[in-house]
Structure 1
């Protein structure tokens, strides 16, 4: 006789599910690495390819603009025309553009390759995430897989800084591109048979006007924030794009309210779990990835470590994120996904705040390592909580859009976090680099803490709610 316990316990993943999961997670991790893998090597790239120092930021910004700007569009394309098809097309584009970037001998080709990599990221990430969410039923197994995905995505940003330093210091920065080519070939060989999807016979129309408006709005937003770190908030190159982004968002809302088949159904955005979940995700990614930027400056410019040593030191944060991703499902099972978001952000704020007191003594390093380790754990608990919250209780035909929003909040957070922190540093730089860094780190702690407190009040969880938040 079959027990009640065995009936309620989901069957373990089969071999195909395990292989598909491995392929999808590998692709997402590789794309996360791409956000930061060239940071340490920028001066060397500029010298070899011919970039002026003031234009080096576009190697990073061009990628971030496209990765964030086209994510929502391709999230909807995944729902309409096939997630697996879009995933494979994006991987092929990633491989081709990475090969071009690795072989580039002039700035124009390198920037074109980075733009194509950003578009590939916008194609692959929501498609891969929606394939993961539809491979596993909502519940513990999906939470576990999303936890691992979140851990790898967040760890990928830190791992990119470490790997970039190692490659630039041992072989060549060009291998930061060539590694993608190898991964793309492996994925294209394995994925066609390992990854499956359930397709709908319906073929809704794509909301072209909405897609253009939201893409232009996101590009303008990221462009304006990126310029703030370099030119200041009062510069026209900052506030004009930001004003344009605000106008485009308003127009986008009007268009979506009248569209027969909108890119973003407004009823989806009215769901509290979707709206608040994605706001929390944006803040979680923005604060922690920008903290890596601030601590990299602290380790190199204040304590005098090399770029490679700084990257390896921050690897402790990456270890924390992996652990956080692994324990997040247990936290969610205990206090719910919304509770996990609040707990993660509040703990992250609590351990980030003391980092603002770090000084010039070498003895500060143990405190930095321990605090960033705990912060990495807390950040991933919040990240997994937001993914589970923002994708839960939605039908399969909306998972591409839901995961597109999740990916959008992640990539916009990464793209905006560093420029915002750079602007905070620039506002206090006259006092010296250390006080400026302390000010920005304190700002990161305040943002995470206020977000956690606001979400705790605005999104109270009913007593006894567990699992799906």
Structure 2
């Protein structure tokens, strides 16, 4: 009897780890996912030189991760509900860590791209569980508000630190370490999570929409590949027409499957709500331009201006901080100007930054051709994302807020993936295969001019389609959330 009681007490202690430890493990997982979106950017020129990647192939180092991440993110969140958040956290982290090892040891470009796609899949399974594990472990109120604020700050810090960390690793060791660094960290977090995290789930008997996830990921990837072929083959060549047609067909099939399945990955009925459809469309359009900024700014700094990877990462730190400033400032402006106006203001501000950046020269002064336009671009991006997410969730039923929030992130990443394919093709067309600084600058400048037009079109779309502001219920919820955060601080 005494032994049974001891076993019970021991089991209870294991099932209730310190809250701070659960928060730390969840934040560590989120940090790895966000860091890996940005950390490879400064390593791209080194990867290309070492593995012989083409300019078109180089975009897939970023896009293979982004497309897999976007295509499977909603499925990853649903899998956590059905099969357990801890289990999916461990599965995603193990996949991510193993793929990081494979990418870091890659000897061919194709091996690196496969590893990046598997990394994206692991991140899609891991990322949704980080927040649900945290909210399950921390009771509602000020403590949860502080925990979520920590989770958000760690994610933002991962994105901001990516360029600097990546540059230091490439300069001090090699490009391989921007991936290999994940292995010891991932193994440590994996061991701690197996020991300390407690299982939780919220399944309701519905099945996973695996066909939907496979179709949308394959469709986006095939469409992006077709776009990337246009520069080398032309729009009418079979090598271009076949993947473009196949990609559109796969996306159409995805929409047909979603309309018929009982548990869709992306419930199409949500898009009948004006706030949801318009905010997701705006996020898709804006993402198609803003996602490309880091990619081309890094190439400009290293390929044209001759910066080292560390110098390139350091040069983009002000832009990274501007994202944080914009994101943190946006909630203060919403009650004064309204969500739609703040989103439009942020988009126009980003468009001004893109237009300024499009005047870059091969000689490039840091302050006027990297720092200041970069700050405007990313300050605008930060100001835009928060009101769009708020508008989208304001149009959803309470039980669908989490799903709609995931859709917003998916729309942004999908738009960014296709946008990067288009912009890379535009740059390659203008440079015509020349590696001369002047030709490269012309190609990059054309990308930023195109981005300016896309963002201005996005601003018009928002003015015409977005609702004027949040619903009264949403405004009240936002006010309560701010109060809880203030009391927590």
Query: Is 2:415 the partner of 1:444?
Result: no
**Counterpart residue number, 1:121:** 123
For 2:282 and 2:451, how far apart are their aligned partners in 1?
14
Shift of 1:403: 4.1
Taking structure 1 as reference, are residues 104 and 258 closer, same or farther at Cα in structure 2, changes over 3 Å only? closer
Q: In the alignment, is the contact (CA less than 8 A) between 2:169 and 2:175 conserved in 1?
A: yes
Shift of 1:290: 0.9
Taking structure 1 as reference, are residues 306 and 177 closer, same or farther at Cα in structure 2, changes over 3 Å only? closer
Shift of 1:76: 3.3
Query: Is 2:256 the partner of 1:249?
Result: no
- The aligned length equals 454
Tell which deviates more after alignment, 154-163 or 166-175: 154-163
Q: In the alignment, is the contact (CA less than 8 A) between 2:391 and 2:469 conserved in 1?
A: no
Q: Deviations over 1:86-140 (max 9, x none)?
A: 2232012212222333344555654443232121022123333566788899999
Query: Is 2:317 the partner of 1:310?
Result: no
Where relative contact order (Cα < 8 A, 6+ residues apart) is larger, the structure is 1
For 2:143 and 2:444, how far apart are their aligned partners in 1?
41
Q: In the alignment, is the contact (CA less than 8 A) between 1:17 and 1:135 conserved in 2?
A: yes
Shift of 1:333: 4.6
**Counterpart residue number, 2:277:** 275
**Counterpart residue number, 1:433:** 440
TM-score for both structures, normalised by structure 1: 0.81
Q: In the alignment, is the contact (CA less than 8 A) between 2:339 and 2:470 conserved in 1?
A: no
**Counterpart residue number, 1:351:** 353
For 2:466 and 2:213, how far apart are their aligned partners in 1?
30
For 1:282 and 1:146, how far apart are their aligned partners in 2?
26
Q: In the alignment, is the contact (CA less than 8 A) between 2:350 and 2:380 conserved in 1?
A: yes
Taking structure 1 as reference, are residues 239 and 166 closer, same or farther at Cα in structure 2, changes over 3 Å only? farther
Q: In the alignment, is the contact (CA less than 8 A) between 1:30 and 1:180 conserved in 2?
A: yes
2:73 to 71, 74, 99: 71
For 1:17 and 1:233, how far apart are their aligned partners in 2?
56
- Give the secondary-structure state (helix, strand or coil) at the position aligned to 1:126: helix
For 1:122 and 1:323, how far apart are their aligned partners in 2?
26
Q: Deviations over 1:60-83 (max 9, x none)?
A: 443334223323333433343334
**Counterpart residue number, 1:457:** 464
For 1:29 and 1:407, how far apart are their aligned partners in 2?
16
1:410 to 409, 412, 429: 412
Instruction: Tell me which structure has the larger Cα radius of gyration.
Output: 2
Shift of 1:427: 3.5
Query: In angstroms, what is the RMSD of aligned CA positions?
Result: 3.8
Taking structure 1 as reference, are residues 346 and 268 closer, same or farther at Cα in structure 2, changes over 3 Å only? same
The residue correspondences of 1:88-167 to structure 2 (distance < 5 A) are 88-105=90-107, 109-128=111-130, 156=158, 159-167=161-169
Q: Deviations over 1:3-57 (max 9, x none)?
A: xxxxxxxxxxxx9777655544443332233234334434544666x55657555
Structure 1 unaligned residues grouped into runs of 5+:
1-14
For 2:377 and 2:476, how far apart are their aligned partners in 1?
23
Shift of 1:446: 1.7
Shift of 1:447: 1.1
Q: In the alignment, is the contact (CA less than 8 A) between 1:126 and 1:400 conserved in 2?
A: no
Q: In the alignment, is the contact (CA less than 8 A) between 1:284 and 1:383 conserved in 2?
A: no
Q: Deviations over 1:255-287 (max 9, x none)?
A: 322223333222223223332222233333332
For 2:155 and 2:199, how far apart are their aligned partners in 1?
22
Q: In the alignment, is the contact (CA less than 8 A) between 2:42 and 2:312 conserved in 1?
A: no
**Counterpart residue number, 1:224:** 226
Taking structure 1 as reference, are residues 168 and 134 closer, same or farther at Cα in structure 2, changes over 3 Å only? same
Taking structure 1 as reference, are residues 374 and 221 closer, same or farther at Cα in structure 2, changes over 3 Å only? same
Taking structure 1 as reference, are residues 264 and 234 closer, same or farther at Cα in structure 2, changes over 3 Å only? same
Shift of 1:454: 1.3
